[in-house]
Structure 1
């Protein structure tokens, strides 16, 4: 069993979307996916809606703090924003640490449609990253 942690600042958007896609693209008998933040901001409702548009349900996800997972032997820790990478605590494991700084769609200012389009754009970036990650690591 491989354990993957996706880490972001508030565990509300980007890490939740990556968690959803990684769980979607991998076999749950072989991989367990977790997501957390260096803070907790609650799961963003627009992230839930945007993922549902693409057939991935993250509506039951919760916003978790990284300290909740210190006892889990992670194989991979993926930070999805620079802030989380800088603040990522030491994990007493041999976890492979990966990083990709995705834009934060929750910070976009504009009309409702502009915000939704940014969430979709970031979702597609995260989806592509997760597909590549799964293929590259034979998960």
Structure 2
């Protein structure tokens, strides 16, 4: 019997980075082989700029929503990917049997400057996340 591999993307507020990663993973990884979720150590709501830059790349995450870490899913995950130091430091202890990857990406929600400059920060983080997800295939 084949069991689906569970992947959990984590960041601080589950508003930008982990949401983008979940969107890409659901688009690029075979749905019959992977169960993909995202969460945060806090709940900040889905950032509309994350939705906007993902749509620019053909991925609609507008129906996703911000969630706190589900301990049951966390403990049963095969791969946990933390996308910031805050999530790595504050998430529950990851068991030795669980694969863990860490990428210290800046929170695009904290970007400053004009609206277009802030969107460019979102695009830069989006592109880094896309490469991370594509490397999972």
TM-score, normalising length: structure 2:
0.92
Deviations 1:89-136 (CA, angstroms, capped at 9, x unpaired): 0256822111001111111110011011111111111101111122xx
2:89 to 86, 89, 92: 86
Which runs of 5 or more residues in structure 1 are unaligned?
A: 135-139
Aligned residue among 61, 65, 70 for 2:64: 61
Match of 2:135, SS?
A: helix
In structure 1, which of residues 11, 15, 34 is the aligned counterpart of residue 14 of structure 2? 11
Moved over 2 A (4+): 90-94
| Aligned twin of 1:97 | 100
CA RMSD of aligned residues (A): 1.2
Moved more, 84-93 or 103-112: 84-93
Q: Distance in 1 between matches of 2:79 and 2:55?
A: 26
**Where does residue 120 of structure 1 map in the other structure?**
123
Q: Aligned partners of 1:99, 1:133: CA distance in 2, in Å?
A: 13
d(CA) in 2 for partners of 1:10 and 1:71? Answer: 19
Conserved in 2, the CA contact under 8 Å of 1:70 and 1:91? no
Structure-1-length-normalised TM-score: 0.91
Alpha-carbon displacement from aligned partner over 1:31-79 (angstroms, at most 9, x marks no partner): 010000000000000101110110111111010000xx22221000000
How do residues 14-29 of structure 1 correspond to structure 2 at under 5 angstroms? 14-29=17-32
Q: Tell me how many residue pairs correspond in the alignment.
A: 132
Does the 8 A contact of 1:6 with 1:77 survive in 2? Answer: yes
